[in-house]
Amino acid sequence: MVDYAPLTAVPAIPRITRRDDSVNGLRREGKHHRFIAARRIRIARWLDSLPGYVRIGIRRLAVITALLPLILLLAVQAPLVPNAPLLVGYGLLVLTATISMMYLGFARYEDPSVHARKPRLPRNPLARRAPSQAWDFPPLPASPKVSLLVAVRDEADGIEDCVRTMVGSDYPNLEVIVIDDASTDGTPDILRRLAGELDITVLYNDVNRGKKHALTDGVMVSTGDVLAFTDSDCVLAPEALSRCIRALVTNPDLGAVSGHARALNADDTVLTRAQDAWYDGQFRVAKAAEATFGSVTCVSGPLAVFRRDAVLNYFPAWANDSFLGREFRFATDRQLTGYVLGQVWKGKELKRRYADSPLVFEQDHPERHWRVGYVRSALVWTTVPARVRPFMKQQVRWKKSFIRNLCFTGSFMWRRGPGPAALFYGHVLFVAVAPLMAIRHLVWAPAHGLYFLTALYLCGVLTKGFAWAVVFKLTNPGNSRWRYRPVMSLVSSVVLSWLLPYSLLTIRKNTWARGAR
């Protein structure tokens, strides 16, 4: 659902006329685009005024109609499976998954900051076997205190903008905590100046301990009912935090929510434009699809908001996480989210392992069957890599985090029900098979003179990319970056798919290193 509440502009980000989910990314390109945006807002208001079953029915009919071309393509290709079972079968699976996610993300998803949902037991019998206490969700206060934290290391160029937008949040009951993890540039000096000017708490680490330890240090001094996190290269919309808190307050079974991230430096290079279009789809569609089951598997770092009682006891396990006999230093957002999703099955053991930590023994919170959601209207902008080398490093970090989290979240996700399990394990399957498909169609096929097979593979990749491009164009009127979305699909299949085996082979080598330039 498009959220239509007016949002205040953020001066630090140019060329944005208003911070509204319905016109996100809209540039000053004339009255026509503003007219389109205003019309979409009026339609959203009208839909929200209808009874729930009518609103949902209209949306589902509209989405199915829009997806008809892809559905027809699926029907046309299905009879060809016996002729080329590997290529056509794989293509059909990818197309089916794409259609399913788009249907869920647009037809079933509703922004939890706009539409509340009453807690109810899941239909899945495996999930319902949890103790009755797991279904007791104490409500938050009407205006809970929020601790907004960021860990920073050597980010002198962007940390002031980040901190000022944190303090500039329109949420009133807020404490801002910044942890400097032994920066060696001018970051500490900037933070000291800001601490004298703004109402913030700054912690300084003399030794670099890594992002997870730094944030855990901040959590130990925090006092909020809600713990919110952002990254040091991010800028928050003023009302982003308020929308996330509204979602948690009105939906007491939500243990965590993710905001909606876009590229802050989208206009820098072709690569940043492609990433901006890709980010929008990953959040608007993929996270929205997971959110319909209350099982978003990654509350992303640009804006991650947790109920304190849903996550507090698991910070020691997160900070000291090890994998394959070695400390895993990457501050994987997936792993922290996994502790919320799987604490009914994993929580007691994790707390027992770190029972001597004050974050565990001072207040032991019961394990609950929390839902994890996504707030489409909570906007945040993050600096994305503008050059190939930093981009590849980022993707390797993400692949390593994916592998590590698969071994944790993958061990219980099947218990959360068939919907969440299908989305999670289906995604794992596609990521795992992608390198094999790339080798077969980009290496083996040309080596054997099967150039037509290679062309078919690339056409399939571009077809999927164009489908996502259409989604971006329809949901971002006036934004021309839709044309870069097929480029991102091509890069993902031809280049990034090879990074999975490399990441697996080098997974024991890990450092906290950021960089988007």
pLDDT, tens digit, for every residue of 409-454?
999 999 999 999 999 999 999 999 999 989 998 999 999 998 988 9
d(CA 11, CA 31): 21
Q: What is the pLDDT of residue 58?
A: 81
- CA distances to 313, 334, 400, 403, 503 from 407, rounded to whole Å, are 21, 11, 11, 7, 15
Strand pairing report for 254-263 and 226-229: unpaired
Beta-ladder partners of 254: 371
Segment 360-398, tens digit of pLDDT: 999 999 999 999 999 999 999 999 999 999 999 999 999
- Would you say 253 and 173 are in contact if contact means Cβ atoms under 8 Å apart? no
Q: What's the whole-model pTM score?
A: 0.87
d(CA 482, CA 472): 6
pLDDT more than 90, % of the chain:
64
- CA distances to 27, 56, 238, 259, 285 from 37, rounded to whole Å, are 11, 21, 20, 21, 20
Q: How confident is the model at residue 511 (pLDDT cuts 50, 70, 90)?
A: low
Residue 37 pLDDT > 60: no
pLDDT more than 70, % of the chain:
85
Q: What is the pLDDT of residue 295?
A: 96
Residue 517 pLDDT > 60: no
- CATH class of the domain defined by 146-224: alpha beta
Q: What is the pLDDT of residue 14?
A: 32
Where do we find the tokens 């099955």? 345
Residue 298 burial (10 A CB sphere; 0-12, 13-18, 19+): buried
Least reliable range by pLDDT among 41-45, 69-73, 220-224: 41-45
Mean pLDDT (the chain, rounded): 86
Q: What is the pLDDT of residue 4?
A: 33
Q: What is the pLDDT of residue 8?
A: 34
Q: What is the pLDDT of residue 23?
A: 34
Segment 74-99, tens digit of pLDDT: 888 888 778 777 777 888 888 899 99
Residue of 155, 147, 148 lying closest to 180 (CA atoms) = 155
Q: What is the pLDDT of residue 39?
A: 59
Q: What is the pLDDT of residue 222?
A: 96
- Would you say 383 and 264 are in contact if contact means Cβ atoms under 8 Å apart? yes
Instruction: Give mean pLDDT, residues 207-220.
Output: 93
Instruction: Give mean pLDDT, residues 207-233.
Output: 94
Residue 288 pLDDT > 50: yes
d(CA 238, CA 11): 11
Residue 157 pLDDT > 80: yes
| Better pLDDT: 124 or 157 | 157
Residue 109 pLDDT > 90: yes
Q: Which helix (H) or strand (E) holds 269?
A: none
Q: Would you give the distance in Å from CA 205 to the centre of its chain?
A: 28
Q: What is the pLDDT of residue 319?
A: 93
Handedness of CA 21, 24, 28, 29 (dihedral sign): negative
Q: How confident is the model at residue 128 (pLDDT cuts 50, 70, 90)?
A: low
